[in-house]
Amino acid sequence: MKILVALSSLYSGGAERVACTLAEAWTARGDDVTLLATFSGRGNCFYPLPERVRVVYLADRVASHERSLKNRVHRLAAYRRLLRDEKPDVIISFLPGVNVASVLASRGLGIPLIACERTDPVAWPMPLWKKRLYGLVYRQADMVTVQTESAAQRLPSVFPGLKSVRVVPNPVPSPVQAYLPDPGSRHAPGIRRRLVAMGRLCEEKQFDLLIDVFAELAARRPEWDLVIYGEGPLRERLQQQAEAAGLAARIKLAGATNAPWPELARSDIFAMTSRVEGFPNALLEAMALGLPCAVFDCRSGPREITRDGSDALLIAQNDREELAASLNHLMTDPVRRLTLGMQARASVLARYSLPVVLECWDHLFDELMAPAAGSRVPQREANA
């Protein structure tokens, strides 16, 4: 089966990591997978990929990399030529801007298109003109996927007239699933403890709030450090905040990492203080690695991943006192950390392991292709 996965770039990010994970899994079972990066600035792939995954940068197929309307038209034409040459069996498009380009480039070619919405559109504010544009585009897609049941229930009210809405969660990457936690090493006495967080250093993640709460606990919990992985526009401000609290030695902004799992695995607690999320990979992977988690109950993602707070400490949105109490509770109770972490791991592996999510995708492929191209389905099943 020929699968073309389109996304803006192959930089660090949740959508990029999921796309690379799926591409690797599909090629491993014999599918022909192309990753198409549409960003005019090109860039390089942040996450490791096997050689069998073909990576194409649309920027290499146009003469100019300038951000202009003319260049956008040229890239759209190059995208359409690529589709005509490659003739994929299905296009999987990630993120709204790329979804728009994919719909326009594939019109009339008869290639099934799955547009993947990576956030909850109800939770993210959206200008009226953009809402109408995406609504027109998504109605042209053969299928729109979201990552949670709650988002699927609300999506038709935001974008009426969609042909099909389906839920496909993010998978737990294979290295995370293969990891075998060593409770003895994580909970051994006499070592420094790590409270860890991950995400883009931007307003929505509210790392400033997390730093404030950690600063309140720091004097009482001198054996604990806070480590935040990620890059973004607020790096300097957050660094200044840590220094102003007198905790520059204990609050580390560790930057982006293309190997987040070892860093999570050697931590003790994971915290997520986001104002809004789609389906947070960092939370999913922290739970899969056996970390106890304290997370805000923001509008989309955490409640579903944690099963209404059964598998993590689910905290009322922006409740600083509850966050401080939850973190303090975990910091002082190693048995609770161990039991909650192991419960979290068992829960998310049962629901979001890579084979489970690949089966979800296969159901979508069957649904799209069986009516129009029945011969393609046995080919995919033979490769599975």
pLDDT band at 64 (very low <50, low <70, confident <90, very high): low
Q: Could you read off the pLDDT of 96-131 as tens digits, one per residue?
A: 889 999 999 999 999 999 999 887 777 667 788 888
Q: Could you tell me the pLDDT band of residue 319, with boundaries at 50, 70 and 90?
A: very high
> What is the predicted pLDDT for the residue at 278?
82
pLDDT tops 70 at residue 164: yes
Per residue, what are the HEC states of the chain? Answer: CEEEEEECCCCCCHHHHHHHHHHHHHHHCCCEEEEEECCCCCCCCCCCCCCCCEEEEHHHHCCCCCCCHHHHHHHHHHHHHHHHHHCCCEEEEECHHHHHHHHHHHCCCCCCEEEECCCCCCCCCCCHHHHHHHHHHHHHCCEEEECCHHHHHHHHHHCCCCCCEEECCCCECHHHHHCCCCHHHHCCCCCCEEEEEECCCCHHHCHHHHHHHHHHHHCCCCCEEEEEEECCCCHHHHHHHHHHCCCCCCEEEEECCCCHHHHHHCCCEEEECCCCCCCCHHHHHHHHCCCCEEEECCCCCHHHHCCCCCCCEEECCCCHHHHHHHHHHHHHCHHHHHHHHHHHHHHHHHHHEHHHHHHHHHHHHHHHHCCCCCCHHHHHHHHC
pLDDT, one tens digit per residue, over 134-159 is 888 899 999 999 999 888 888 888 88
Q: Using 50, 70 and 90 to split pLDDT, how confident is the model at 381?
A: very low
- Which tens digit of pLDDT belongs to each residue from 5-54? 999 887 777 788 889 899 999 999 999 999 998 876 666 777 778 889 99
pLDDT band at residue 72 under the 50/70/90 scheme: confident
In order of their start, the domains of the chain are 2-171+353-383 (3.40.50.2000), 174-351 (3.40.50.2000)
What pLDDT does 180 receive? 78
What percent of the chain has pLDDT above 70? 90
pLDDT digits (tens, 9 = 90+) for 294-316: 999 987 789 999 999 999 999 99
* Residue 169 predicted with pLDDT over 80: yes
Range with lowest mean pLDDT among 181-195, 257-271, 321-335, 339-353: 181-195
Q: Which residues contact 314 (CB under 8 A, 6 or more apart)?
A: 295, 297, 302, 303, 306, 308
- Residue 186 is predicted with a pLDDT of 59
Q: 252 vs 60, which has greater pLDDT?
A: 252
The chain-wide mean pLDDT, for the chain, equals 88
Euclidean distance between CA atoms 138 and 159, whole angstroms: 8
pLDDT at 380: 40
Tokens of 72: 């956008």
pLDDT band at 189 (very low <50, low <70, confident <90, very high): low
Residue 60 has pLDDT above 80, yes or no: yes
pLDDT in tens, 221-249: 999 999 999 999 999 999 999 999 999 99
